[in-house]
Amino acid sequence: MDTAFVHEALFYRDADEYRAGTLPFVRAALDAREPVLVAVPGPRIDIIAAALGELAVEVRFLDMTRAGRNPGKIIPWVLHAFVEEHLGTPVRIIGEPIWAGRSVDEYPACVQHEALINVAFAGREASILCPYDAYALPADALADATCTHPVLVDVDIRKSSSTYLDPDEIVAAYNRPLSEPGPDSVTLAFNATTLGTLRRFVAVHAGRTGLSRRRVSDLQLAVNELATNAIVHGGGQGELRMWPTARRYVCEVRDRGRALARLAGRVPPTLDSISGRGLVLVNYVADLVRIHTAPDGTAVRLYLDV
């Protein structure tokens, strides 16, 4: 187990157990003058901030239901950003990416996120505590937490997880085929010569859904990045499918390549890198990103809330 990086799951059942599990973690950081980030759902922020009183001003708070709406956004744009901001200094983070109400589409990406934290921050001087609501979450979510966190915390007990798995096993287990497109889906094949047509196609169809002009532009940008990746890495061509759901607009890009880089889209590239920004950008603008890769190709599906 990495001695520099600590990744713990905290199981709580009510507000008292939440306070008991999180406050010592935060106060230890403040006592050691370590930067501390609390990224949890809004009502949980209120619990911690109220208990800290005047000390709350020394903590950075983020509502995870907004900052981490897309699980693929959490590592690059929440956790990594905070660690890099305080490079060379040990940091402490409370991050709660899985809460009651996460959809069946979101959950696989959440579990993969929790597993990949162990890869993205290996060797870094950081401690990340992930609270899990043992009262409201289903049993399989609690079981998965024991597989993605090397250390488990429950009230006064702290122990190594006997069921912790290699992150690659978790990522593979949740590399699940995506559902079929909706009945109103539209399809466009593309290659390097038709990217302009692709962008116009996205604008026309997404513009009819109720998305704002800015969000349509975001979608064009994200689809263009995925299409470019498909052309460069997926055989020079691909297929775009788009359709509305009750609450979201969905776009999917398929190609013949294999998505094997486990941290693709999860860690921002260095400033001198000439590649690696596409999927990071897609994770930034989307409300959810799901990826399924198989021997015959890869599908990247992004969702925008309407």
**Domains of the chain: which residue ranges?**
5-173, 186-305
Model pTM score:
0.94
Strands of the 126-133 sheet, one edge to the other:
60-63, 36-40, 91-95, 126-133, 5-12, 151-154, 157-160
289 touches 265 (CB < 8 A) = yes
**Crossing angle of helices 139-148 and 106-120, rounded to 10°:** 20
Does the pLDDT of residue 222 top 90, yes or no?
yes
Q: What is the mean pLDDT of residues 172-190?
A: 95
Closest C-alpha among 124, 128, 135 to residue 113:
128
Q: What is the mean pLDDT of residues 275-298?
A: 90
Does the pLDDT of residue 3 top 60, yes or no?
no
Residue range 80-94, pLDDT digits in tens: 999 999 999 999 999
CATH superfamily of the 5-173 domain: P-loop containing nucleotide triphosphate hydrolases (3.40.50.300)
- Report the C-alpha gap between 268 and 276 in whole angstroms: 7
- Report the C-alpha gap between 187 and 258 in whole angstroms: 21
Closest C-alpha among 81, 71, 6 to residue 267:
81
73 touches 284 (CB < 8 A) = yes
Mean pLDDT of the chain: 94
Residue range 123-162, pLDDT digits in tens: 999 999 999 999 999 999 999 999 999 999 997 899 999 9
pLDDT, residue 2, reads: 46
pLDDT, residue 275, reads: 58
Question: CATH code for 186-305?
Answer: 3.30.565.10
Confidence of residue 234 (pLDDT cuts 50, 70, 90): confident
Torsion, Cα 203 204 208 212, to 10 degrees, reads 20
Question: What percent of the chain is predicted at pLDDT more than 70?
Answer: 97
pLDDT, residue 1, reads: 43
Are domains 5-173 and 186-305 of this chain identical in fold?
no
72 touches 120 (CB < 8 A) = no
Residue range 33-81, pLDDT digits in tens: 999 999 999 999 999 999 999 999 999 999 999 999 999 999 999 999 9
